[in-house]
A = this chain, B = another copy of it.
Amino acid sequence: LGVRLFTDFSVPWTRSENSCLLNDVSHSGERSSGSRQEQKARTRRALLDAGLRLLEEQSLSSLGLREITRAVRIAPAAFYRHFRDIPDLGVALVAEALGSVHEMVGAILAGQDDSDERIEETVEAIARYVRDHRAHLRFVSRERHGSVRAVREAIAAELSRFADEVATALAPGPTYAGWDYRDMRMLSELYVDHMVTTAAAFLETADADEAAQAAREHAVARTACRQLKLIRTGCRHWPAAG
């Protein structure tokens, strides 16, 4: 057993849909035990990667099982060794995509203050994160309101966790001394929604011309910073005197 996995999309050179290729992933140096499950894990990864790549230009509900297995160069039926169906793969992608966002959010929240510099660093962190995880975030942004219920719910659950984390991290700050739970929650939801909107805006700055893209990113960042500063100003004077 063993198959060379492809995640590139080069045109196949054979006419047959599923070409059988010799294994060239030798495990000679590794401890033999576990190599079967390692191979399985590698195929699973290849399926997720290929799916993610295909999802940059389409939505989950139109993604074909055969399309993915073709990209990975395995037989269609092999898909079922790893996922029940396409939505199941989608849920796995959500876990992967938003799991790693938790780290970024944690880093942003650590040692939080509300200085201008902090806001600018936060927006810059989002910009960087989008640049480095474009495919994952495009997927989440697209499927957040997509037609696959299980995926929508998985995303909503993760975003709700983000709101919890933000609320917990901010609450001890001096700005929020008199705030009740509802206030903290509405603020953290506003921040999370703003983060999602900003990330989506960064995603849409993609441009063939590198300079043009940088300029558009800069514009999005400036707007996002001002909006965060406006919200911060609101926080400092909350609840409103009149």
- Chain A residues near B (Cβ < 8 Å): 57-59, 61-62, 141-142, 144-147, 156, 182-183, 185-187, 189-190, 193-194, 197, 200, 204, 222-223, 226-227, 229-240
Q: Which of A189, A190, A231 has the most CB of B within 10 A?
A: A190
Given A58-B147, A182-B222, A187-B227, 20 extra CB contacts under 8 A = A58-B61, A59-B62, A59-B147, A61-B62, A141-B145, A142-B145, A142-B146, A145-B145, A183-B226, A186-B223, A186-B226, A189-B223, A193-B197, A197-B197, A229-B240, A231-B231, A232-B234, A233-B234, A233-B237, A236-B240
A182 to B224, alpha carbons, bound, how many Å?
Answer: 12
Partner of A240, one of B146, B183, B187, B232: B232
Would you list 7 pairs from A and B whose C-beta atoms are within 8 A, ordered by A residue?
A58-B147, A59-B62, A61-B62, A146-B146, A182-B226, A189-B223, A193-B197
A230 CB contact (under 8 Å) in B62, B193, B229, B231: B231
Contact of A142 among B147, B226, B236 (CB under 8 A): B147
Given the complex, which residues of B lie within 8 Å of A231, measured CB to CB? Answer: 230-231, 234
Q: For residue A138, which residue of chain B has the nearest CB?
A: B145
